[in-house]
Amino acid sequence: MLLSNLSIRKPVLITMVVMSFAVIGMYSFLRLGVDNWPDVKFPFAVVSVLYPGAGPEEIETQVIKPIEDEVTTVAGIRNITSQCLENRGLIFIEFELGTKIDFAALEVKDKVDAIRPTLPEDLEPPVVLKFDITDTPIMNLALQSKRPPEELYQLADDVVKMQLNRIRGIAQIEIEGGKKREIEVALSKSQLQAHDLTINDVIMGLQMANLNMPGGRIEEGRRDVTIRLEGEFDKPSKMQDMNIVLEGGRTVKLRDIGRVYDGYEDVRKLVRFSGETSVGLSLRKRSDANTVAVADEVKSEIKRVQKLLPPDVKLAIARDNSVFIRSSLSDVAGNLMMGILLTAAVLFVFLRSWNGTIIASVAMPLSVVATFLLIDAAGFTLNSMTLMGLSISVGILVTNAIVVLDNIWIWEKRGHSKREAAAKGTSEVALAVAAATLTNIVVFVPIGFMGGIVGQFFREFGLTVAFATVFSLIISFTLTPMMAAHRLGALIYSLVGAGTFFGAWIIMGMWWALGLAALVAFIVWMDKHGHLTRFFDASENLVNRGIESYTQALNWCLTHRKILIGSVVVATVGSFMLFPIVGAEFFPSADQGEFYVGVKLPPGTRLDITDHTIAAIENQVAKIPEVNTYYSTVGSADVGHGSDDGSQLGGVYVRLVEKNQRNRSTDEITRELRSQLADIPAADIVISQTSEFGGGSEADMQIEVTGDNMTDLLATVDKVQAITATTKGTVDVTNTWITGKPEIKVIPRREELADQGLNTYGVAATLRSLFEGTVATKYRESGKEYDVRVRLDESDRSRLDQVRDLNVKTDGNWIPLTAVASITEAGGPTTIYRKNKARLVSVTANITQGTTGEAQKAIQARIDSLDIPEGITVAFGGEAEFMGREFAYIYRAMLLAIILTYMLMCAMLESYVRPLIILLTLPLGLIGVAIALMLTNTAVSMMVLMGMVMLVGIVVNNAILIIDYSQTLRSEGKTLREAILIAAPGRFRPIIFTNLATILGMLPLALGVGSGAEWRSPMAIASIGALVSSTVLTLFFIPVIYEWVELVHTRKARHEVTTS
């Protein structure tokens, strides 16, 4: 082979070429960013509207519905989901993947702007933004002290926020809790009416009095002078002396109709960190920033900020997503290193020489390091997917080197020189090695270009493995034969030993490195005293006896073909029956050592009552020995990747100690806590582990019930919720339709309004200003702005009957509000959800037993028996919706991988039939997958399916080696049976040891040790199961099928000759 021959003749040239790959790869590695996941783009846009004083129903009918009707005409929309809350509404628009979100968001904005004149006049301008579903806080800080909450807020705003905002990569910092300064103008209802003033007169008076305005410029001589009016108040107290003009030219002082308070906004949210009252700061990064890098900068800045704070004020990190990311990536890197070491151990046993082990061991890390070159060039980061791709490929990388070295060793045993054996041995297996490598590439490249969200996540994984495989092929045809052709000196041994030692130290720690060094020293000692030779001889005898036994068993199978084929068919059918038993889930959950306790009390519950409930939960949490810290909010609760506000809501984020410091899993701890919190009265409590993708925690299962007839909709929801609650394994069953919030409805009588010269908007605006208050202007001090809110004095707005006693002003007269409107007390929804222009109520649940797929199947069977009213639809959303949609993309990738593998093998083997024989190894692998999942209690998930796609390129390699060698022997004059009985045993050693190396390379991932291991291990478990079964069965089944097909082909050819 030209490349290997050149490498043998020009060792210095090849060494420099390979080292250039390594040097540039190392340089690229140092440039790579670090993050937990690849940068996945979700094509979402969000329309945010603010309508102060409006309830959810008014938001829905007057704002959300008109906007939905208009934006529906934008091309490429998959789903429109809306939330109607108090004072505001949100419309989430999900576009088809591949949509250019910049242009789509602009089109949505144009549509919203077009209907702006038809929306309520006092609606604030709608905001259209691109929405990043991963835009969740990367860190929460807590400012703690015994100082009053207003002082803490001021320190958080003036010192901490200002300093942290300077960090590159920080996009937004939100302050939670504390008391924010606000100037309140509290008016007396009786004094307003006595002076014939409305609240709007006061608001307008403040706006006209508190302003700065440019007045133009004067050019005098050589000077250009600006004229500027400065009329803003320099002290809040001076507002009380402001004159308000009455009819007839008279004036009245503001102090005569109310009071000005330099106070604070109404407290709507409380924050505690580990039980101590705090002010929280929520930090979000820019979409293009690196989580770990930003978190590191924040931690460095915190040390500096702490010096700027008073001694009694402490700035603590309450939550830090980078901790799990760093730990997870460190564990993956450790798995990679452990896989390399285990594979090297297999090589040592297989090759029975230090030289061969050193050669193959050099090939692995060089392939990995060189891969960083292409990872950097492709714009990838160092994340869980790229590192897992490298970990999975460790065994694959060394396979080529094993096959080449084994064949070189065979030629050496025949008496050829090292150079001759290296050249001939490499050339003989070049086609098989190239075919095996290219089958891997044609499998992993489709993974890199799958559609859907799963395709975006696995793009970096698939291409990383493809990159590594390309470099392993290059090194196998260059460095491997070059080193095999020469005797390795002490310098090479020293360099490899030092590199391995320091690599293990950096990645796995000092004690691992020292243990490895001690193990190698012990093996060297054994080698010098002859013990290793005896071990090799014993292992060689064992392998030879295994080959002899295999040859006899293969001969029996060739003779009893029907028995073997029948047994394999039965085993394959039986394996398919196991998959429904293990269940299915979309994505395995990882034990991040963090969970969230969400609390929802009855609508209208006061903030102090909710605070009491959160305190009771904190008391229980504090008793858990594994708890490290907990961060509580009262007045808001996280829901998925967003949050809801309300005095009846609250939540507690609980951070546990590191995984290796506790004996219980997060799931076990939450199960115990759930039972302990069951006795808290009137509280709807949901406990769930935080998401691997950031944000809060969505329920494991969501059933979406949609329709417009609320009677039928709610009746169906009740039935679905009852079914879900009585299904085995479900907990925290609830729904999103919550009514009962006390509400006073003022219903205008339009004819009476018109007779008095009034309109609905005027009455609504007056009510909002009187009770909620209106920010009339801003008060500026020391470069900061504070709201000036105008409303009634608390004594005039603290009782329900005061609404009925209100008077409204007409043309010169005051009339009771009840003269033009009906006032009733009722309960209304706190939040209204919509999906695709219909009302949506979701039934949600968490799963504690079995899998999501099993629960879904049981619930669906009972839902199918319901009599669903016309116009009402029931469908699974959330994880179930993703499973149905995203699994389809994986199945397409699997089909494409099989087709491409077949086409490649046809081209390389110059046959249409033999590649079909090789592809029969695929169902043999499925047998092992099913058994492995059953034994490890692992559900079918996205990771398992991805492992099955990978197998298309891995398990066929065994069959390629056997059939390729058989064809070579037949071309040399051997009969079919002779060729098979020589080729299969002849490839027994490389097949067993290459697969063993691949299995051991994946073993650290499969063991599920370390942070995030729960979602990584299913892929390795599936792969190992497939490799074990396909390796064992391929050694017998493929030779039998190969002989049968060739015999049929020979008989057919003879028959054609005879008939002609």
pLDDT digits (tens, 9 = 90+) for 119-136: 887 788 899 988 766 667
Tens of pLDDT, residue by residue over 844-900, are 888 888 778 788 888 999 999 988 999 899 998 877 777 777 888 888 888 888 888
- Fold held by 538-592+888-1060: Multidrug efflux transporter AcrB transmembrane fold (1.20.1640)
328: closest CA among 35, 641, 655? 35
Contact 258, 184 (CB under 8 A): no
The least confident of 153-167, 484-498, 543-557, 611-625 is 484-498
Tokens at residue 413, please? 């045993």
Q: What percent of the chain has pLDDT over 90?
A: 22
Give the pLDDT band (50/70/90) at residue 692: low
Helices (H), 864-910: 879-909
CA distance 808 to 58: 22
Q: Is the pLDDT assigned to residue 696 strictly greater than 50? A: no
Average pLDDT over residues 502-528: 75
pLDDT: which is higher, 357 or 214: 214
What pLDDT does residue 143 have?
A: 93
CA distance 178 to 265: 10
What pLDDT does residue 910 have?
A: 82
- Let me know if 1032 is exposed, middle or buried by CB neighbors in 10 A (0-12, 13-18, 19+): middle
55-59, 139-143, 525-529, 1004-1008 — most confident range: 139-143
Give the pLDDT band (50/70/90) at residue 543: confident
What pLDDT does residue 1059 have?
A: 67
pLDDT: which is higher, 596 or 250: 596
Residue 716 region by backbone torsions, left for phi larger than 0, else alpha for psi between -120 and 50, else beta: alpha
Tens of pLDDT, residue by residue over 435-452, are 777 877 888 878 877 877
Average pLDDT over residues 1011-1034: 85
What pLDDT does residue 995 have?
A: 83
CA distance 327 to 563: 51
Contact 702, 734 (CB under 8 A): no
What pLDDT does residue 839 have?
A: 93
Average pLDDT over residues 243-263: 86
- Fold held by 44-131: Alpha-Beta Plaits (3.30.70)
What pLDDT does residue 693 have?
A: 53
Contact 576, 926 (CB under 8 A): yes
Tokens at residue 427, please? 């050339």
911: closest CA among 388, 431, 499? 431
- Let me know if 543 is exposed, middle or buried by CB neighbors in 10 A (0-12, 13-18, 19+): middle
Q: Which helix (H) or strand (E) segment is 174 a member of?
A: strand 170-176
What pLDDT does residue 24 have?
A: 92
Strands 784-792, 181-187: pairing kind: parallel
Give, as one character, the DSSP assignment of residue 590.
-
CA distance 750 to 865: 48
Total number of residues shown for the chain = 1060
The b-or-e profile of 384-400 (16+ CB within 10 A means b, else e) is bbbbbbbbbbbbbbbbb
Tokens at residue 1033, please? 């069965």
Strand order in the sheet with 774-781: 258-264, 181-187, 784-792, 774-781
Give, as one character, the DSSP assignment of residue 117.
G
Q: Is the pLDDT assigned to residue 697 strictly greater than 60? A: no
Q: Which residues pair with 649 in a beta bridge?
A: 600
CATH number assigned to the domain with residue range 593-689, chosen from the 4 options 3.30.1380.10, 3.60.15.10, 3.30.43.10, 3.30.70.1430: 3.30.70.1430
Give the pLDDT band (50/70/90) at residue 698: low
Average pLDDT over residues 154-159: 91
Q: What is the CATH number of domain 182-212+239-264+742-828?
A: 3.30.2090.10
Average pLDDT over residues 282-291: 83
Q: Is the pLDDT assigned to residue 695 strictly greater than 50? A: no
What pLDDT does residue 281 have?
A: 93
**Token pair 């005879």: residue:** 1058
Tokens at residue 79, please? 């789903």
Q: Which residues pair with 279 in a beta bridge?
A: 143
Q: Which helix (H) or strand (E) segment is 997 a member of?
A: helix 988-1006
pLDDT: which is higher, 352 or 620: 620
Give the pLDDT band (50/70/90) at residue 1060: low
CA distance 864 to 857: 11
Q: Is the pLDDT assigned to residue 785 strictly greater than 60? A: yes
Q: DSSP labels for 410-451? A: HHHHTT--HHHHHHHHHHHHHHHHHHHHHHHHHHHHHHHT--
CA atoms in the 13 A half-sphere facing the CB of 252: 17
CA distance 1018 to 1029: 17
Tens of pLDDT, residue by residue over 297-309, are 999 999 999 999 9
Residues near 601 by beta carbon (within 8 Å), at least 6 away in sequence: 609, 610, 613, 648, 649, 650, 682, 683, 684
CA distance 498 to 599: 56
Strands 832-835, 701-707: pairing kind: unpaired
Q: What percent of the chain has pLDDT over 70?
A: 95
Q: What is the pTM of this model?
A: 0.75
**Token pair 């013990």: residue:** 531
Q: Which residues pair with 354 in a beta bridge?
A: none
| Angstrom distances, CA of residue 47 to CA of 114, 128, 466, 835, 841 | 14, 5, 41, 14, 21
Tens of pLDDT, residue by residue over 792-820, are 998 998 888 888 888 888 877 888 988 88
pLDDT: which is higher, 750 or 498: 750
Give the pLDDT band (50/70/90) at residue 751: confident
Tokens at residue 356, please? 């061969």
Give the pLDDT band (50/70/90) at residue 110: very high
What pLDDT does residue 561 have?
A: 87
Average pLDDT over residues 698-714: 87
Average pLDDT over residues 1022-1031: 89
Tokens at residue 695, please? 């944000």
Other Cβ atoms less than 10 A from the Cβ of 216: the count is 8
Give the pLDDT band (50/70/90) at residue 489: low
Q: Helix axis angle, 354-377 relative to 321-351, nearest 10°?
A: 150
Residues near 807 by beta carbon (within 8 Å), at least 6 away in sequence: 193, 814, 815, 816, 817
Give, as one character, the DSSP assignment of residue 772.
T
Amino acid letter at 1030?
S
